[in-house]
Chain A
């Protein structure tokens, strides 16, 4: 029986991917002489190597070791930081990611790329300003059978671990395995310090070891093996002068048969109680968190909640419980004298709930920089590949977004940014010829608007060739040959399946697969995408996404017997209709003059086919709302309270309903619908079109 290490693999993978992202972003920002950055890259590589070794991902260990060696030289100032090395390291980061992914999926990965990169790495390491030591270690790692030319030393290692060593997640067996890779190892366990069985603590380690290593490695390399445990053990490494180690009167156990070492460690393994894994997890996360505080920017693939946040939640819940018990005590024999206390109690309850709600929401919301952080690398690579010089400007990266939305928006954004770099930005010559600066600019921007988050991808490139799009669409039979379309309709064609106007298909984009997927992904999140483009000046893709799970500030309105909620954020103003400001134009369209604007009036009862108290516009209540830059006036019967509501999905058990973004449960337990303003405008449009058709049919 042994600890099932596989249960820690997910957290290792997670931390490794975080480490890789950290390495990547640090490498991109790496300037010569920036020691702190190089240190953090090195640390990330080192923990990946260590972890991979622990879990037996030897390919990863082997490869990362090369990277680490190179980084080590940079860190010690033995090697200058040059751009070509950084490129190689970036490539290496990709390889490590590939290797870890293949280890995760238990698949073979593309070996060729890895072999190439590792060749590149070792070539770099062999360059003139490398030291002998690193060359040596490369040799060892590339040819697993140790080179014979190097002088072999006999190392005598005394390993005296402290009792709590295993509680911090370290396993002597793994250390010994790592040593055995360096050379010929023999292990002798010392059981003298074993306490009697009755005094033995299941989670402590009482063994000590005497190791002999015949290897060409340096003392430093041996110390490296013990690096993780050096604070928790006594380690004496000495070199034996005597070549004749057979004189040693101890009978060594050769590690060649790993099982035998396993036997010697088995004793403690059998003793471990189920608590141990937890301990290990704690300590490993502690390790990573210290590393993270050192690194300035942290990237996550999961929500890590600070203990303080959790503590504050627990405190809040505690207060809530106290308030609840106070209120229920108050209710036991209630009389009018206690009204004041009741009010105070309810006030407190309100406060508690609000705070609790805020804390919980804070846990789920993450700044969008988590999604944006991958783009500097992407642009870096793309400008290399395309030979265009591209500058990336990121704005609004602190805009907060729900985690689930963030996870799903990543890929569509990558696609849009790739498109902008590949199709949008022109080549330097074309740009100069058109009187633009040589360097193209792609701007990523995020901001809140209405109940939505808006992400803009803007490029100052050539813009979309309207005519080319239209011609292509006609050629493919997507639109009628003599149809006239508005700009927006033309740009919408880009999202048709199988549509690409790229003159040449490049490996970056242009196969016409994708834009339709982008649109579908965004729509499945309940969002939408808009395109604006000016030929010769550039294009802007605007992605509107809802802040799902969010709690919405709403205005309750009544229409007939139904209560609806209008998102407060989309309301411009609410007013009582004054007859003289009503205008009827072009047939039967009703406009309301709001200062300088003419606002179309949409009676909610008509859109939703409901009976209403008031069907006359005069003296009705009008809620002026804005969506997509379009103002409309919703005619309602009554304005009720304003309150925060929790958005519940209608889609879960029913389906998407046009004009309704969701439902909520009011204080009395009844359900109320939340209005979706763009959807309502859509209904009005469809109704108008339908009516028009009816009219036309009647005429015929």
Chain B
């Protein structure tokens, strides 16, 4: 008896059929949120979790927009107030204030950072061609944070570049 023919009859494991699974969505998905009255969105694949605001532990001599660090299941996660970082609206902490925790991968490092926003609103499906370039002037957000603009109904949503959001400026004393 040939062992090899026997062996070949055993079905190989690990191959699973993808048939029958519906891919409902098309395009990429983005999570939208509010800063003051403006809508912004980020790639949903980066979102680790959405938490309610809690008082973080302060980091000495950190820039104003770095609120501190929190303990997320044993991981120390810095919290950054996007409103302060982008100079949009007032930094008020209320019951609807939320923290979006993002895991941002870049060639140098993978960092998990929480961003304070006013509210989380929706998930958007956006085709690549729907993303329009942003005008290079005006606004108080530096252009390198912005990947483009997306029209949703009458509103315009700003698509943020998560890679750029990973960078936190070095501390300056005084």
Which listed residue, B58, B76, B168, B173, touches A649 by the CB 8 Å rule? B76
Stretch at the interface among B59-67, B132-140, B141-149: B59-67
From residue B99, how far is it (CB to closest CB) to chain A in Å? 14
Which listed residue, B57, B62, B66, B78, touches A672 by the CB 8 Å rule? B57
> A652 CA to B72 CA in the complex, in Å?
13
Are the CB atoms of B61 and A609 closer together than 8 Å?
yes
Q: Which residues of the other chain, B, contact A671 by a CB distance below 8 angstroms?
A: 56-57, 68-71, 76
Q: Which residues of the other chain, B, contact A607 by a CB distance below 8 angstroms?
A: 60
Verify if B91 is at the interface (C-beta below 8 Å from A): no
Q: Using C-beta atoms within 8 Å of the partner chain, give the interface range for chain B.
A: 20 to 34
Are the CB atoms of B71 and A1 closer together than 8 Å?
no
Verify if B32 is at the interface (C-beta below 8 Å from A): no
> A610 CA to B71 CA in the complex, in Å?
21
Which listed residue, B4, B57, B60, B168, touches A655 by the CB 8 Å rule? B168
Are the CB atoms of B71 and A655 closer together than 8 Å?
no
Verify if B98 is at the interface (C-beta below 8 Å from A): no
Q: Which residues of the other chain, A, contact B171 by a CB distance below 8 angstroms?
A: 655, 657-658
Chain A 477-495: CB-based contact to B (< 8 A → 1; otherwise 0): 0000000000000000000
Chain A 632-674: CB-based contact to B (< 8 A → 1; otherwise 0): 0000000000000000111011110111100101000111110
Chain B residues 118-174 with CB under 8 Å of chain A are: 168, 170-171, 173-174
Chain A residues 254-308 with CB under 8 Å of chain B are: 267, 270-271
Which listed residue, B3, B58, B174, touches A271 by the CB 8 Å rule? B3
Chain B residues 46-88 with CB under 8 Å of chain A are: 56-62, 66, 68-71, 74-78
From residue A360, how far is it (CB to closest CB) to chain B in Å? 15
Q: Which chain A residue has the least Cβ–Cβ distance from B169? A: A655
Q: Using C-beta atoms within 8 Å of the partner chain, give the interface range for chain A.
A: 20 to 34
> A267 CA to B57 CA in the complex, in Å?
67
Stretch at the interface among A49-57, A135-143, A683-691: A683-691
Chain B residues 100-114 with CB under 8 Å of chain A are: 109, 111-113
Q: Which residues of the other chain, B, contact A562 by a CB distance below 8 angstroms?
A: 57-58
Verify if B1 is at the interface (C-beta below 8 Å from A): yes
Q: Which residues of the other chain, B, contact A683 by a CB distance below 8 angstroms?
A: 61, 173
Q: Which residues of the other chain, B, contact A695 by a CB distance below 8 angstroms?
A: none
Q: Which residues of the other chain, B, contact A271 by a CB distance below 8 angstroms?
A: 3
Our count of residue pairs bridging A and B at CB distance below 8 angstroms stands at 85
Q: Which residues of the other chain, B, contact A197 by a CB distance below 8 angstroms?
A: 1
Are the CB atoms of A686 and B173 closer together than 8 Å?
yes
> A669 CA to B174 CA in the complex, in Å?
31
Q: Given A197-B1, A671-B69, do A653 and B173 touch, yes or no (CB 8 Å)?
A: no
Which listed residue, B4, B61, B174, touches A658 by the CB 8 Å rule? B61
From residue A84, how far is it (CB to closest CB) to chain B in Å? 52
Which listed residue, A609, A670, A690, touches B60 by the CB 8 Å rule? A609
Verify if A608 is at the interface (C-beta below 8 Å from B): yes
From residue B94, how far is it (CB to closest CB) to chain A in Å? 21
Q: Which residues of the other chain, A, contact B173 by a CB distance below 8 angstroms?
A: 658, 683, 686-687, 690
Q: Which chain B residue has the least Cβ–Cβ distance from A269? A: B3
Main secondary structure of the interface of A (DSSP, over half): mixed
> A199 CA to B67 CA in the complex, in Å?
72
Q: Which residues of the other chain, B, contact A665 by a CB distance below 8 angstroms?
A: 71, 74, 76
Verify if B18 is at the interface (C-beta below 8 Å from A): no
Q: Which of B4, B57, B60, B109 has the most CB of A within 10 A?
A: B60
> A687 CA to B60 CA in the complex, in Å?
14
Chain A residues 413-436 with CB under 8 Å of chain B are: none
From residue B125, how far is it (CB to closest CB) to chain A in Å? 30
Q: Which of A650, A653, A660 has the most CB of B within 10 A?
A: A653
Verify if B92 is at the interface (C-beta below 8 Å from A): no
Q: Given A671-B70, A687-B174, A690-B173, do A657 and B59 touch, yes or no (CB 8 Å)?
A: yes
> A461 CA to B51 CA in the complex, in Å?
62
Are the CB atoms of A653 and B112 closer together than 8 Å?
yes
Verify if B7 is at the interface (C-beta below 8 Å from A): yes
From residue B59, how far is it (CB to closest CB) to chain A in Å? 6
Q: Which residues of the other chain, A, contact B113 by a CB distance below 8 angstroms?
A: 653-654
Q: Given A658-B171, A687-B173, do A673 and B71 touch, yes or no (CB 8 Å)?
A: no
Q: Which residues of the other chain, B, contact A657 by a CB distance below 8 angstroms?
A: 59-62, 171
Q: Which chain A residue has the least Cβ–Cβ distance from B57? A: A671
Q: Which chain A residue has the least Cβ–Cβ distance from B111? A: A653
Which listed residue, A654, A658, A659, A669, touches B69 by the CB 8 Å rule? A654
Are the CB atoms of B78 and A653 closer together than 8 Å?
yes
Are the CB atoms of B56 and A653 closer together than 8 Å?
no
Q: Which chain A residue has the least Cβ–Cβ distance from B174? A: A690
Are the CB atoms of B4 and A663 closer together than 8 Å?
no
Q: Which residues of the other chain, A, contact B111 by a CB distance below 8 angstroms?
A: 652-654
> A663 CA to B75 CA in the complex, in Å?
10
Q: Which residues of the other chain, A, contact B1 by a CB distance below 8 angstroms?
A: 197
Are the CB atoms of B57 and A270 closer together than 8 Å?
no
Q: Which residues of the other chain, B, contact A655 by a CB distance below 8 angstroms?
A: 168, 170-171
Q: Given A652-B76, A663-B76, do A673 and B59 touch, yes or no (CB 8 Å)?
A: yes
Residues of B within 8 A of A (CB): 1, 3-4, 7, 56-62, 66, 68-71, 74-78, 109, 111-113, 168, 170-171, 173-174
Residues of A within 8 A of B (CB): 1, 197, 267, 270-271, 562, 607-610, 648-650, 652-655, 657-660, 663, 665, 669-673, 683, 686-687, 690
Q: A652-B109, A653-B113 are in contact. List 8 more A-B contacts (CB 8 A).
A: A271-B3, A562-B57, A653-B77, A654-B78, A657-B59, A660-B59, A663-B76, A690-B174
19 residue pairs of the A-B complex, CB under 8 angstroms, read A197-B1, A267-B3, A270-B3, A652-B76, A653-B75, A653-B76, A653-B78, A654-B69, A654-B168, A655-B168, A655-B171, A657-B62, A658-B61, A663-B69, A665-B71, A670-B71, A673-B57, A687-B173, A687-B174
